[in-house]
Amino acid sequence: MTDRADIEHIEWPATLESHFDLEAELGLLAQADDKLAAGRDLLDAATAALGEAFTAGVLADDLVHGRAAVLDRLLHACWRDAGLNIDSELALVAVGGYGRGELLPGSDIDLLLLAAAPPDESHGDQISEFVRRLWDMGLHVGHSVRTLAECETEAAQDVTIVTNLMEARLLAGSADIYAELQTRTGPERIWPSRQFFAAKLEEQAKRHHKFGDTAYSLEPNVKDGPGGLRDIQMIGWVSKRHLHARRMSELVHHGFLTHDEYGELKEGQSYLWRVRFALHTLTGRSEERLLFDQQRALASLFGYHDESANLAVEQFMQTYYRTVMRLERLNEMLLQHYKEAILYADAVADPEPLNSRFQVRRGFIEARHTDVFKEYPPALLELFLLSAQHPEIEGVRASTIRLLRQHRHLIDDDFRHDLLCRNLFMQILRQSQGVTEQLRRMNRYGILAAYLPAFALIVGRMQYDLFHVYTVDEHTLMVLRNVRRFSVPELRDELPACSQIFSEIAAPEVLYLAALFHDIAKGRGGDHSELGAKDAEDFCRLHGLPEASVTLVSWLVRNHLLMSMTAQRKDISDPEIVREFARQVGTRRYLDHLYLLTIADIRATNPSLWNSWRQSLLSELYEATSRVLQQGIETSQSGHELIAQVQTEALKLIRAQRLSQRDAVQLWEGLSEDYFLRHSADEVTWHTKAILQHGTASGPVVRIRPHTERGGSEIFIFAEDSPQLFAHVTSTLDRLGLDIVDARITSARHGMVLDTFMVLEDNGEALHDGFRLEEIVDALQIALAQLDTAPARVKRRLPQRLRHFQVPTCINFSHSESQHWSAIQLTTGDRPGLLSAVGQALAASHLRLHNAKITTIGEQADDIFYVTEEDGQPLTDAQRQAEVHRAIMHALDENMPTASAG
């Protein structure tokens, strides 16, 4: 906010004088015969100089004001050259960000050409010539020609327009017209401060909601996201409208900010300006998002270096996230101040005492005096307990937020070991409502990080991948929220089984603590699960939990990935896999807690990861493990008993559908035992019916069930066996944009093969009936008729989001004594055509594929292929394994897609 004068040109910062002599360059422009060429030269030289100054470490504040200063002088010269400077009926006004004197390299130049009355034809020609000159110089100009009356009318109808005009700055022309604009659009005429503030508050809420109400997403928006520059501007707009403040520093004088808070606000703004300046420079455009394209480059530009447990890009992004968190806190506090000063200014409200330390005023909790925390440090936790116990409390008063911030240093080791403080923290966790809300609030005000020093290390910490879309602290609190949702009766329909299991848990705080600690050791080096388990154990003992609960919390943190890894990466249709998982879990109590924590964790990691397929996998593993634990791990059903059970149930279904049981049994005699272990009775019935109805008709059987009990869409193929069948089918499904999540291959008699593929659309949903199903069936029929040729290469480009991650390819071979096949585990970067390429390599290596577990998490594919030699023997020879390894690597290299053009 600059001082007002008739002409308000921004001063050229002294820090830039050694990089660029603006006055000398303006002198050359004035003397030049070719004004356009000279103007372009001046802009190019200024841009280069500002870039050099950025590299030299000049403050971003000076850079953004410096660019505005250059444009001020250039526009003034162009206005004069267009013959408009002698006209008293026009004014050239900078509005928006340019009006504030803030210009980044890619920012638009927002101008208002203000007239007392509609311009006549001659004026119109001069204005057109003026704007044309600016565009010819390479400037991105956003301009409007308006009369005073039009400005007043439009501003009265739109808070965004009046906001832009509030920041208007006179560059050239009539000072009288400009002054009249200020009068007509001032709060005395339109948008009084209370109405203006309410509208801007709603506008910010909508803007934050657009970004998921979090600043901690994977590719944040520096300008418009929560905690971004727009939040700082919001404070300035309200200050200007309500306090008539011309500088942010005046908020200190008015008592809305302390000197330290003002310094924090300016420091945060300067940092975001520097990030945004670098973004514009790198991209050559007005880019406001910190996309993967730029994050690594910016980390290097800002001087970060990779460390063993912390990539440079992760360090840079943690600094960014912590900055926006501080700005979010200041924004919240200041807006709360404004609510009290503007919206509630006339409201008389007597305080309602809660105890000797706190009271509620207008729905907000506040300290009863300024020395509350100094005299009684446990009140730093008591405030949040009271807020949870009184759900009618809307929030914390601004003055008390400031007191919290000023006194959080009192949370030291003595505080953490104080029995009263420990009890207060555990009481917060044991509340029937408000737990998540209060822990989020504690995190915002820095209290949670102070009380849990290990948590402080993960605040703002990101992981540079497509799997984790939130910072670790944000993810942790979302896991806690998801666990809490199991307890809410109104949300019971969301995941009914989880709600039922949760209702039977005796001490929910055990699950909350597991959620709080499960990722607390991320970024420290070593196994974060082991380190976190030790932290959790120490915390639980310090807080007096029973030894059984201490052990359970520690076990959950140590094993929080066990269930998801087992379900997604192992063949859970194998009874021995389930028995081994049951041995690791041990009891139904542990299984229940792990199941709930696993689901809450996956749903809080990446919204796109949770789908009906993953839900079905986890549910299947949970139910199977429950049965094993109930029967006894060593006495649970054998494989033969499970096969007999599936066949008996399938025969009942076949009889109900009036199919021949004798034909069904005859068909089953040609199938392996593994088929009945890996398919449910419902699936067996569907497959049998399809084959029997096809009869002796020529060609393969291709059927699709859009919705299955396993949560995805099932594609069933019964056809003549071919080494290239898997490659052809996966290539076809990939070209159709389908996500293959499971593949089961069963050899049958007479050279036939029975394959099932579980698929989802690329948005994680099951297939829909109609044309889509016909399209898939037709495409597969064509592919299956061409098995004597190599499958067509998948020509889809590598998606933009995958280009920035380099996942090393790793191939491991393993063999279990209980299984007659070998497992090839492939970890590599996800890409179009991946499965088809592997299928071709396996065919070329003369291996038979029996099963495939397909897992894609973010940018990483982690697939397992169960294979044997052609004679049915496992792949155990080291030389043969080396040959297969080379074949797969060669196929992946040959099928590497080109990068997306973006």
DSSP string computed for 67-99: HHHHHHHHHHHHHHHTT-TT-TTEEEEE-HHHH
Q: How far is CA 180 from the centre of its chain?
A: 47
Contact 738, 706 (CB under 8 A): no
Q: What DSSP character marks residue 545?
A: -
- Could you write out the DSSP letters of every residue in 771-798? HHHHHHHHHHHHHHTTTTSPPPPP-PPB
Q: Are 609 and 482 a contacting pair, CB within 8 Å?
A: no
The one-letter amino acid code at 253 reads H
Q: Are 334 and 257 in contact (CB under 8 A)?
A: yes
Strand, coil or helix: what is 523?
coil
CA distance 105 to 139: 10
- The pLDDT value recorded for residue 521 is 95
- Residue 785 is encoded by which pair of tokens? 């008729």
Count other C-beta atoms under 10 Å from residue 327's C-beta. 25
826 DSSP β-pair partners:
811, 863
pLDDT given at position 866 = 87
pLDDT of residue 1: 35
For 881, the enclosing helix (H) or strand (E) is: helix 878-894
Integer Cα distance of 736 and 779 in angstroms: 9
CA distance 323 to 11: 28
Return the H-helix or E-strand segment holding 812: strand 810-815
| DSSP element (H, E) containing 761 | strand 752-761
Centre a 10 Å sphere on the Cβ of residue 383 and count the other Cβ atoms it contains.
28
Sheet bearing 395-396, strands edge to edge: 352-353, 358-361, 364-367, 395-396
Print burial letters for 812-833: b (CB count within 10 Å at least 16), e (below 16): ebeeeeebebbbbebbbbbbbb
Residues 6 or more apart in contact with residue 225 via CB below 8 angstroms: 208, 211, 215, 217, 324
Residue bearing tokens 């307890």: 487
Per the CB < 8 A criterion, the answer to whether 286 and 104 are in contact is yes
Position 617, amino acid: L
Tokens standing for residue 647: 């066949």
| Cα separation, 635 vs 641, whole angstroms | 12
Task: Note the pLDDT of residue 5.
Answer: 47
Give 10-residue mean pLDDT values along the chain (902 residues).
61 94 92 92 95 94 96 93 79 94 93 89 82 91 93 95 94 93 94 94 94 82 94 92 87 89 94 96 91 90 89 93 93 90 80 95 94 98 98 93 95 97 97 95 95 95 77 94 95 94 95 97 91 97 96 98 91 87 96 97 84 89 94 77 90 90 90 86 92 86 89 91 88 87 83 89 82 92 88 65 70 79 87 84 88 75 87 89 93 67 38
The neighbouring-strand residues paired with 169 are 94
Name the nearest CA neighbour of 340 among 421, 276, 397, 401. Answer: 397
Cite the DSSP H helix spans in 459-545.
Answer: 472-485, 496-503, 508-517, 528-542
CA 556 to mean position of chain CA atoms = 25
Show the DSSP H helices in 211-311 as ranges: 229-243, 250-253, 259-283, 292-301
| Helix, strand, or coil (residue 867) | strand
Tokens of 183: 């009068």
Q: Count Cα neighbours of 320 within 13 Å in the Cβ-side half-sphere.
A: 33
Q: Which token pair is 11?
A: 């001063």
Q: Tokens at residue 175, please?
A: 């000072």
Neighbours of 843 (CB within 10 A): 22
CA–chain centroid gap for 59, Å, is 30
- Pairwise CA distance, residues 461 & 315, whole Å: 8
Instruction: Give the chain's radius of gyration (CA, Å).
Output: 33
CA gap 787, 52 in Å, rounded: 61
Q: Is 283 exposed, middle or buried (0-12, 13-18, 19+ CB in 10 A)?
A: middle
Question: How far apart are alpha carbons 222 and 239 in whole angstroms?
Answer: 22
Q: Give the number of other Cβ atoms within 10 Å of residue 898's Cβ.
A: 9
Report residue 770 as tokens. Answer: 């109609």
pTM of structure: 0.86
The reported pLDDT for the residue numbered 901 is 40
Q: Which residues contact 1 (CB under 8 A, 6 or more apart)?
A: 100, 236, 240, 245, 246, 247, 248
Q: How far apart are CA 380 and CA 376, in angstroms?
A: 8
- What is the distance between the alpha carbons of residues 529 and 517, in angstroms, rounded to a whole number? 9
Contact 550, 541 (CB under 8 A): yes
**Closest C-alpha to 223, from 265, 286, 281:** 286
CA–CA dist 41, 47 (Å, integer): 10
* Beta-strand runs (E) in 282-375: 352-353, 358-361, 364-367
Tokens of residue 45, six digits: 């030289």
- 865 three-class SS: strand
Q: Which two tokens stand for residue 806?
A: 């380099």
Element (H, E) at 593: helix 588-605
817 beta partners: none
Answer yes or no: are the C-beta atoms of 378 and 347 closer than 8 Å.
no
DSSP state of 803: T
* pLDDT tens-place string over residues 399-426: 999 999 999 999 999 999 999 999 999 9
Beta bridge partners of 739: 760
